[in-house]
Amino acid sequence: MDPFSPVLLKISEGLTADNVEAMKFLCPGVGKKKLEKINSGIQLFQCLREMNKIGADNTEFLRQLLTHIKRDDLVDILDNFESCGAGPQDDQPEPEEQRKLDIAVDVISEHLGRNWRMYGRKLGITDSRLDHIREKYPFDLQEQVVELLREWRKLKKAEAKVDALISALRLLNLNFTADLVEKELSSRQ
């Protein structure tokens, strides 16, 4: 089964009829007759998937729709999918390690700055993926870093460890940021 389908189902279940109507209004590329037949979020998502507007690796349009209708709770479901995927929990780090990773992401995203592409390469993210991240958030450096770390977590799955993030920072001589991560982790234990 496609891992993105359960995410779309969960989002659809959270939508009201008014939400669906508002989202339909925000989809001018879909034909008017097609839109008239759509009565649920799932039907709209299926249509958008057929048009390649949304997908497991292309969630930006869906994120914009949910943001425009002010459904941040549903955007959180999408964020969770992007950071952890929808795979089995065996593919995820232990809960304690996830907590540490969340803390590290917060600190790194606040302090990494323009070195984020170099850092991404050190973490094993491809240049094409880095370009996609830059295009997705062209004017928001902090969001670029958050997205980079989401990609890394999806890539590493259960192998994602805070120590790897800190080691990569130190290899790039970003010791101040690495020290801040360690300090924040020790203060929250």
What CATH number should be reported for the domain holding residue 77?
Answer: 1.10.533.10
C-alpha span between 84 and 97 (Å, rounded): 13
pLDDT of res. 91: 66
pLDDT band at 177 (very low <50, low <70, confident <90, very high): very high
State the chain's mean pLDDT as an integer: 88
C-alpha span between 157 and 45 (Å, rounded): 27
Residue 35 backbone phi and psi in degrees, to 5: -60, -35
Task: Tell whether 56 and 140 lie within a shared domain.
Answer: no
pLDDT band at 94 (very low <50, low <70, confident <90, very high): confident
C-alpha span between 8 and 25 (Å, rounded): 19
pLDDT of res. 165: 96
Question: How many structural domains are present in the chain?
Answer: 2
Of residues 163 and 60, more confidence is placed in 163
Task: Tell whether 109 and 28 lie within a shared domain.
Answer: no
Residue 53 backbone phi and psi in degrees, to 5: -85, -30
Task: Tell whether 98 and 177 lie within a shared domain.
Answer: yes
Task: Tell whether 39 and 62 lie within a shared domain.
Answer: yes
pLDDT of res. 85: 59
Q: Which domain holds residue 55?
A: 5-84
Q: Among 60, 84, 108, which residue terminates a domain?
A: 84
Measured from the Cβ of residue 159, the count of other Cβ atoms closer than 10 Å reads 10
